[in-house]
Chain A
Amino acid sequence: MTPLLDGSAQGIAAAVKGGVASAVEVTEAALGRIEARDGAYGAFTDVLAERALVRAAAIDAARARGERLGPLAGAPFAVKNLFDVKGLPTRAGSRINRDLPPAEADATLVTRLESAGAVLVGALNMGEYAYDFTGQNAHDGPSRNPHDLAHMSGGSSGGSGAAVAGGLVPIALGSDTNGSIRVPSAFCGVFGLKPTYGRLSRARTFPFVASLDHLGPFARSVVDLATAYDAMLGRDLDDPAQTDVVPMPSVLSLHDGIADLRIARLGGYFARSGEPCALEAVDRVAAALKAERIVEPAEAHRARAAAYLITMIEGAALHLKRLQTRAKDFDPEVRDRLIAGAMLPGAWAVEAQKFRRLFREQTLALFKDVDILLAPATPCRAPKLGQKTFVLDGKEMLVRPNLGIFTQPISFIGLPVAAVPVWTEGEALPVGVQIIAPPWREDLALRVARVLEREGVVAAPVAAFG
């Protein structure tokens, strides 16, 4: 079963459909691997063995009846623990939320992946209330980077990145407010997709910053990433921010290549501040794509500042009552940022939202001449666990809030991004690149990612264990 678990969800689905392996056998093997390896990775907070085996048995029964199985038939997946899972309190990385009653229904995206045949095997570790780029959690311990256990997984969807990189599941779901899919994708060396704001339903997930929150998949292959994304498309009136646009599946055009795409890299802000490895990764991707053009977004530094302030202020508003009544139960590193956010002038939040409109107009203008923009995902490789500061641009900064300097300006205006992992010979840890597309064109970002994967420029291998 090892080749199947180390392979793709597509490989598992083909094996299940073809009778090479049953969904129950795959699920048992995945549960066994989680049991054997997750003590080292810290990716899971809840393992749902009984539920998973019941679901897998239902898939096998459907096959036995001759029914057509979904594109992810029998493929295990897991979700960041801010997704509602029926029967579990939605902890969102916190101690406080464990006192909530168990969720009465699954999040919409869980239901949709299961409808495609995937099997939910558990819930995943995350930074408290998603206010985190490190993957560390004061209550559950850190999710560790499977490629070097002394290093961060990245966050806040740290368990999602670690579970996929560690070969525990081929697909995981996470959330991304300022970079929480793209940062762990980059650090753990897996593919991640942050769709357009308003594209995928967020119904029955615990929020952080409503005006910036996105959900999306992680995977070790671009086909899996696209298949999971396609399976989750569709209108859901339970998410008030979901936009009523026609779903655009990505799998059918995934192998169409890039001959018709104009690709440029972002300069200016996105070419400064990063360590050489982060910028070199963009060089390699750009060279492979023959993207020689550089375009400069006018005010990315201000976009990052505005996203930073909106996050502090909206996040504080969400948590104010809990800060008043249960301050000691927060992770102190999260609590004190939220408290500071509660004290900021309301005028700053309004100005930040006004600037958001301006920056959107400026950035969308870039897409008149290009179809895809490239940028680093993070300013560095994964720092060591516990590292508090690093030096960027000659200035010592806090690690936790600053790992997202390149992701924040992009999610600030909701653009879709595929994060792809780039490896350097002799280095244990990868670094990530953002492939940024115009609104609603996730399909274009995925096409580019697929070309890079096919040409061996990017890859997401399972980490060696033990």
Chain B
Amino acid sequence: MTERSFDPGALVDAAAPLLKLALTPESRAQTILHLKIAAEQAELLLSALIGDEYEPAPVYQP
């Protein structure tokens, strides 16, 4: 099965109605840019070896 590349425009167009957001063309273009940056950051994060035993820290306790 071929891995499909991320299409941020398709995500914006599908998610905006779900989130009840109305985007202008300018806003859509910028949102796509920020989704691309976020996807790069996520790729970095998700390549970490985080074990199943690690519970999240929704509020950090130093």
> Are A344 and B20 touching (Cβ within 8 A)?
no
Asked if residues B62 and A305 are in contact (CB atoms below 8 Å), the reply is: no
A332 with B45: in contact, given A243-B62, A354-B50 (CB under 8 Å)?
A: no
- Given A305-B41, A344-B38: A413 in contact with B46 (beta carbons within 8 A): no
Q: Are B31 and A339 in contact (CB under 8 A)?
A: yes
Question: In A335-371, which residues have CB < 8 Å from any B CB?
Answer: 335-337, 339-344, 348, 350-358, 360
Q: How many pairs of A and B residues are in contact by the CB < 8 Å rule?
A: 123
Q: How far is the CA of A336 from the CA of B21 in the complex (A)?
A: 11
Q: How far is the CA of A323 from the CA of B27 in the complex (A)?
A: 12
A356 close to B30 (CB less than 8 A): no
What 0/1 pattern do residues 407 to 433 of A give for CB contact below 8 A with B?
000000111000000000000000000
B37 beta carbon closer than 8 Å to chain A: yes
Closest A residue, CB atoms, query B45: A305
A26 to B37, CA, bound (A): 49
Tell me if A337 and B34 are in contact (CB < 8 A).
Answer: yes
Of B19, B26, B62, the most chain A CB neighbours within 10 A belong to B62
A309 at the interface (CB under 8 A from B): yes
A175 is an interface residue with CB less than 8 A from chain B: no
With A301-B44, A343-B19, A355-B48 as contacts: A309 and B38 at CB distance below 8 Å: yes
Decide if B56 touches A356 in the complex (CB within 8 Å): yes
Residue numbers in B under 8 Å from A309 (CB-CB): 38, 41-42, 45
0/1 interface trace, chain A 303-328, chain B, CB 8 Å (1 if under): 01110110010000000100110010
Identify which of B16, B26, B44, B59 contacts A302 (C-beta below 8 A). B44
Contacts of B50 in A (CB 8 A): 351, 354-355, 358
Once the chains bind, are A440 and B62 in contact (CB under 8 Å)? yes
Tell me if B55 counts as interface (CB < 8 A to partner A): yes
Specify the main secondary structure of chain A where it touches its partner: helix
Interface residues of B in 25-62 (CB under 8 A from A): 26-27, 30-31, 33-35, 37-38, 41-42, 44-48, 50, 54-62
**In the complex, what distance in Å separates the CA atom of A243 from the CA atom of B21?**
37
Pairwise interchain contact A339-B56, C-beta atoms closer than 8 A: no
Docked Cα-Cα span, A357 to B57, in Å, equals 6
CB-defined contacts of B60 to chain A, threshold 8 Å = 197-198, 211-212, 356, 360, 413-414
A157 in the interface (beta carbon within 8 A): no
Contact A354 B41 (CB under 8 A): no
Given A196-B62, A343-B11, A332 and B21 contact (CB-CB distance below 8 Å): no
Contacts of A332 in B (CB 8 A): 26-27, 30
Say yes or no: is B1 at the interface (Cβ < 8 Å to chain A): no
Are B55 and A336 in contact (CB-based, < 8 A)?
no
Is A353's CB under 8 angstroms from B45's CB? no
CA distance A436 to B37 in the complex (A): 28
| A247 contacts chain B at the CB level, 8 A cutoff | no
**Contact between B27 and A336 (Cβ–Cβ < 8 Å)?**
yes
Tell me, yes or no, whether A296 is within 8 Å of chain B by CB. Answer: no
Across the interface, A415 reaches (CB within 8 A) one of B44, B46, B62, namely B62
- Does A276 touch B at the CB level, under 8 Å? no
Chain B hits for A197, CB < 8 A: 60, 62
Contact B56 A343 (CB under 8 A): no
The answer to whether B35 touches A354 (Cβ under 8 A) is: no
In the complex, which residue of chain B has the Cβ closest to the Cβ of A323?
Answer: B21
Does A439 lie at the interface of the complex (its beta carbon under 8 Å from any beta carbon of B)? yes
Tell whether A355 pairs with B62 under 8 Å between CB atoms, given A324-B19, A336-B34, A337-B34.
Answer: no
A343 smallest CB distance to B (angstroms): 4
Residues of A within 8 A of B61 (CB): 198, 243
Q: Which residues of A contact B62 (CB under 8 A)?
A: 196-198, 243, 360, 413-415, 439-440
7 A-B pairs in the complex with CB atoms less than 8 angstroms apart: A198-B61, A309-B42, A323-B21, A336-B34, A354-B54, A357-B57, A360-B62
